[in-house]
Amino acid sequence: MPNIENSDSSRFSIIEVMDGFIDKINQIGKTLLGISISALILAPLAIGLSLYLILHPHFFFILDEYDEFGIFLAISLVIIIIISISWLVLGIRQYLMLKSWNKKYPRYIQRKDQVDNQISSEFNLDEEQES
């Protein structure tokens, strides 16, 4: 019979590891949600600032007057816009995925609790633990 007890304890440990893993993913998801929200705020701000500088009347003056600096500034602003658009798209995509996860996780917890309660009542595990 020790083999059965060992098998049961390994099953419980696997379930505990999986629950811990899912809880950790939920914690990471909250961090990623914060990152995606910051992307949704900072990327449009960077795009707007870059466009403001490009559309400013003195921008072409700087391009004409300061050759190397003007080229560097133009390239930098274009790179900032490209990276910001990418960051914005990734932030939106990540937010939508996390929104879906946040809907599914409470259902998982509720279903897990229901199954645990059903198994406990079916095998009278509550009574054994109280004794």
Give one DSSP letter per residue of 24-70, joined into a string.
HHHHHHHHHHHHHHHHHHHHHHHHHHHHHHHHSHHHHHHHHH-HHHH
Q: 64-79: per-residue pLDDT in tens?
A: 888 888 889 889 999 9
The rounded mean pLDDT for the chain is 81
The type of residue at 39 is A
Burial of 124 (0-12, 13-18, 19+ CB in 10 A): exposed
What pLDDT score does 126 carry? 59
Q: 10-38: per-residue pLDDT in tens?
A: 656 777 887 888 888 888 888 888 888 88
What pLDDT score does 9 carry? 60
| pTM of the complete model | 0.62
Of 1-5, 81-85, 122-126, the one with minimum mean pLDDT is 1-5
